[in-house]
Structure 1
Amino acid sequence: MEQNALKFKMTRAEFARWALLLNLGLAISAAGIHFFKTPNRFAMGGTSGISILLSTLFPRLDVGGAMFIVNGALVLLGLAFLGRRAMGVTIYSSFAISAFVTVLEKLAPMPRPFTDDTLLELLFAVILPAAGSAIVFNVGASTGGTDIVAMILAKFTSLEIGKALLVSDFLIALAAGGLYGIKTGLYCVLGLLMKAFLVDSVIESLNLRKVVTVVSADPEAVKQFILEALNRSATVYTAKGAYTGKEEQVLTTVLTRRQTVALRNHLRRVDPKAFLTIVNSSEIVGKGFRTL
């Protein structure tokens, strides 16, 4: 895929940061699977859900080993239908997350849940993998697993992939209900619904920036503060006030939360009558931000 091809254009420092974030996201997802999903039998879809079911049906098989088998089969399918280039880093992610789970199983076995509070356990079983997946998606990669099925479906069918994967996840949750009891099955369904909203929310939070528009009596001073103190750029254009009919210079810039607070405090000191609007945005593409 194009995003994978872009990795080869990175500097060493950029690649190191990308690899660190990728593995951090996979490790966080693996921690959620091992410490919260597995001991509570929360089979909430995906390869981890299938692996939890398999480890119960075949007691000599642990969840990490089952994930290697399931992910391995999916990688072979992906290679057969999509080719090595299209699979890209998905191959690494599929096996890395399985390896992280296996390592955790060896270092910190979890024969029982941390607590007797099932709802609390469910929250962490959803939040950790969702946060890990969000970090991985945010660097342009995937956690593998059922993402490979989605890629195959996207290439060869006109199926609505999101709905197809949601149906498959619900079937896995229903299987968990049949295997572990209705209570666990209902918790799995609840976890699926929570996960559907949480991943997008975490991604938006990671990428959140403030689009700031300033109308000031001293636009040059504001521009210099943005350029020199905040080390950001801005777009400057001329507009006319509807009420006054007066021409004003308007500055628009994109800042982090901290930089926005600094600009607001600066305006409070130098031009308390300045007009300021601040809008949240999670999709900023261009130089200094994310690439296309």
Structure 2
Amino acid sequence: MKALTTESALKSVKEYFLMSVGMLLYSFAWIGCILPARGVGGGAAGLSLVLCHAIQEWLGVSIQIGTMVFIINGILLLFAGFIVGWNFGVKTVFCVIVISLGMNFWQSVLPAGDFLHLERILSIILGGILAGIGVAMCFMQGGSTGGTDIAAMIINKYRTVSYGKIVIYSDFVIIGSSMLVGFHIDTVIYGYVMTAVFGYTVDMIMSGNQQSSQVMIVTHDYEKMADAIAQNVHRGVTLIDSEGWYSKKASKIVMVVCRKRETAMILKFVKTIDPDAFMTVGSVMGVYGKGFQAFTK
């Protein structure tokens, strides 16, 4: 067991603080933007909104969304604990509690109705952006919002299904089911718009600033090509042994990992030095090391 140091304690405090801010921002997005715009979404929050509306319509009982989020996640956590073990982490439980409390808090302090006075589509888009920022802040600190994450653990216990498919299928069903409890088709459409904006925002924050290009250049003039890139683009170059299957001639492949914005400059040098060069450009993310992102301690 690692000894508790001041550095590790401050790091933990920072992580939990940022997760709290992220979850409060996520809950505000739902209560302050999506709910007033009569929107819906996926995940535990979207399912809670549908269930709360159904209970209100059918039984006349009003339940706060945050309370329903806590109930749904609590049930999922219990199932996950008995099925896959109790190793889903303290941060997941912490985030679930903060989301639930945050939603109830915003629902009690924010004025009823569309207090932002935005067009419906703008309110939905703003909600998706704010929710995406909040969830990305949580993910970057190693946290989890529960809901679909817990369901994915349970499903993958018995069958291997990608996380992306589970999210897409569950969100599609949850948003579509809103029509069964009194929501109209426009709500479903706005729900899919919000989900798309939410997912794009999370992806951009999580990987947008880390995305780089991996350029593979097949050329006979590899020495001149490597020198030009190293001296002008100031990026490290790696030479990989290769052999043309048709020509049976040994050569080198010039490999460069660079920022997206530097790709066009490399293409220019390739065209200038060897117009007949064969080149592939692929997107990579999470490039760690000198000149890129530092390794996480």
TM-score by length of 2: 0.65
- TM superposition shift of 1:87: 3.8
| Matched residue, 1:207 | 210
Hey, what does 1:32 align to over in structure 2?
29
Q: Structure 2 vs 1, CA of residues 139 and 282 (structure 1 numbering), >3 Å: closer, same or farther?
A: farther
Shift of 1:32: 0.9
Distance 2:194 2:161 in 1: 18
Which residue of 2 is the match for residue 110 of structure 1? 112
Question: CA separation of 1:82/1:10 partners in 2, compared to 1, >3 Å: closer, same or farther?
Answer: farther
Alpha-carbon separation, structure 1, partners of 2:162 and 2:87: 21
How far did 1:9 drift? 9.8
The offset of 1:146, in angstroms, is: 1.9
Provide the TM-score with structure 1 as the length reference.
0.66
- 1:165-176 counterparts in 2 under 5 A? 165-176=167-178
Residue 21 (structure 1) aligns with: 18
Contact 1:27 1:132 in 2 (8 A): yes
Residues 137/65 of structure 1: CA separation in 2 closer, same or farther (3 Å cut):
same
Q: 1:154 to 1:73 in 2, by over 3 A?
A: same
Q: Which stretch has the larger CA shift, 44-53 or 11-20?
A: 11-20
How far is 1:74 from its partner? 1.7
How far residue 208 of structure 1 moved from its aligned partner, in angstroms, is 4.5
Equivalent residues of 2:133, 2:202 under 8 A apart: no
Question: Hey, what does 2:130 align to over in structure 1?
Answer: 128
* Counterpart contact for 1:41–1:180, Cα < 8 Å: no
| 1:100-144, Cα deviation, whole Å (9 max, x unpaired) | 112222222433463351111111121111222222223332111
Per mean C-alpha deviation after superposition, the further-off stretch among 42-51 and 80-89 is: 80-89
**Structure 2: distance between partners of 1:109 and 1:46:** 25
Match of 1:63 in 2: 65
What SS does the corresponding residue of 2:87 show, helix, strand or coil?
helix
Give the corresponding residue for 1:273: none
Evaluate the alpha carbon distance shift between residue 100 and residue 17 of structure 1 in structure 2; reply closer, same or farther with a 3 A threshold.
same
1:217 matched to which residue of 2?
A: none
Over 3 Å counting, the alpha-carbon distance change for 1:140 and 1:170 in structure 2 is same
Counterpart amino acid of 1:204? S
**Cα distance per residue 1:170-199 (max 9 Å; x no partner):** 222122233344343333443265147514
Comparing 31-40 and 8-17, the one that deviates more: 8-17
Question: Structure 1 residues 34 and 282, CA, compared in 2 at 3 Å: closer, same or farther?
Answer: farther
- Secondary structure at 1:39 match in 2: coil
Whole-angstrom CA distance in 2 between matches of 1:137 and 1:30: 15
CA distance in 2, matches of 1:147, 1:285: 25
CA contact (8 A) 2:66 2:104 kept: yes
The percent of aligned pairs where both chains have the same amino acid is 22
1:74 to 54, 65, 76: 76
Deviation (angstroms), 1:43: 2.1
Superposition RMSD in Å: 4.7
Is the counterpart of residue 158 in structure 1 residue 159 in structure 2? yes
Q: Deviations over 1:62-97 (max 9, x none)?
A: 111221221222222222222222344211111111
- Partner SS for 1:89: helix
Q: Report the 3-state secondary structure (helix = DSSP H, G, I; strand = E; otherwise coil) of the residue aligned with 2:36.
A: helix
Which of 49, 68, 75 lines up with 1:52 in the alignment?
A: 49
> Does the aligned pair in 1 maintain the 2:121–2:190 contact within 8 Å?
no
User: Which residue does the alignment assign to 1:97?
Assistant: 99
- Matched residue, 2:268: none
SS at match of 1:86: coil
